[in-house]
Amino acid sequence: MITFDGVTKRYPDGTVAVDELSLEAPTGEITVLVGPSGCGKTTSLRMINRMIDPSAGRILLDGADVTTVDPPTLRRGIGYVIQQAGLFPHRKIVDNVATVPYLLGWDRKKARSRAMDLLELVGLDPGLAGRYPFQLSGGQQQRVGVARALAADPPVLLMDEPFSAVDPIVRASLQDELLRLQAELNKTIVFVTHDIDEAVKLGDRVAVLRVGGRLAQLAAPAELLAEPADDFVREFLGRDRGIRRLSFIPADGLSLRTDLVVPVSADVSSVRGTAEAWLAVVDAEGGPLGWIAPKDLPDSGGTLAEVPAAPYGTFVRGRDSLRAALDATLLSPSGNALAVDGSGRVEGVVTREALGEALTRIAEDARG
List of residues contacting ligand ATP (CB under 6 A): 11, 13, 15, 17, 37-43, 194
Count of residues making up the chain:
368
Angle at 40 between CA 146 and CA 175, to 5 degrees: 30
Closer to Mg ion at the Cβ: 37 or 73? 37
**186 interface partner picked from Mg ion, ligand ATP, none, CB below 5 to 8 A per type:** none
Q: How far is the CB of 173 from Mg ion (least distance, A)?
A: 23
- Between CA 292 and CA 290 the distance in angstroms is 7
Closer to ligand ATP at the Cβ: 74 or 82? 82
**11 interface partner picked from Mg ion, ligand ATP, none, CB below 5 to 8 A per type:** ligand ATP
**140 interface partner picked from Mg ion, ligand ATP, none, CB below 5 to 8 A per type:** none
Position with the least CB separation from Mg ion: 42
Q: How far is the CB of 262 from ligand ATP (least distance, A)?
A: 55
- Between CA 336 and CA 339 the distance in angstroms is 10
Q: How far is the CB of 24 from Mg ion (least distance, A)?
A: 21
Closer to Mg ion at the Cβ: 2 or 254? 2
Q: How far is the CB of 138 from ligand ATP (least distance, A)?
A: 18
Closer to Mg ion at the Cβ: 2 or 322? 2
Closer to Mg ion at the Cβ: 42 or 175? 42
Nearest to 1 by CA among 45, 31, 32, 21: 31
Does residue 43 bind Mg ion (CB under 5 A)?
Answer: no
Closer to ligand ATP at the Cβ: 33 or 225? 33
Q: How far is the CB of 15 from ligand ATP (least distance, A)?
A: 4
Nearest to 347 by CA among 338, 356, 335, 355: 338
**235 interface partner picked from Mg ion, ligand ATP, none, CB below 5 to 8 A per type:** none
Q: How far is the CB of 40 from Mg ion (least distance, A)?
A: 9
**17 interface partner picked from Mg ion, ligand ATP, none, CB below 5 to 8 A per type:** ligand ATP
> Where do the H-state alpha helices sit in the chain?
41-48, 71-76, 93-97, 99-103, 108-121, 138-150, 168-185, 196-202, 221-226, 231-237, 241-245, 268-272, 322-330, 352-367
Closer to Mg ion at the Cβ: 97 or 208? 208
Q: How far is the CB of 225 from ligand ATP (least distance, A)?
A: 22
Closer to ligand ATP at the Cβ: 20 or 252? 20
Does residue 42 bind Mg ion (CB under 5 A)?
Answer: yes
Q: Is the dihedral of CA 147, 203, 212, 69 positive or negative?
A: negative
Nearest to 44 by CA among 16, 12, 77, 64: 16
Q: Which residues contact 145 (CB under 8 A, 6 or more apart)?
A: 81, 82, 85, 86, 87, 162
Distance of CA 126 to the CA centre of its chain: 26
Using the contact rule CB under 5 A, the part of the chain among 26-34, 40-48, 63-71, 270-278 near Mg ion is 40-48
At 216, which helix (H) or strand (E)? Answer: strand 214-219
Please, how many CA atoms are within 13 Å of residue 119, restricted to the half-sphere of its CB? 23
- Between CA 132 and CA 134 the distance in angstroms is 6
Closer to Mg ion at the Cβ: 209 or 350? 209
Count of residues that bind Mg ion according to CB under 5 A: 1
DSSP string, 147-199: HHHHTT--SEEEEESTTTTS-HHHHHHHHHHHHHHHHHH--EEEEEES-HHHH
Q: How far is the CB of 41 from Mg ion (least distance, A)?
A: 5
184 exposure class (CB count in 10 Å sphere: 0-12, 13-18, 19+):
exposed
Q: How far is the CB of 234 from ligand ATP (least distance, A)?
A: 20
**15 interface partner picked from ligand ATP, Mg ion, none, CB below 5 to 8 A per type:** ligand ATP
Residues in contact with Mg ion by the rule CB under 5 A: 42
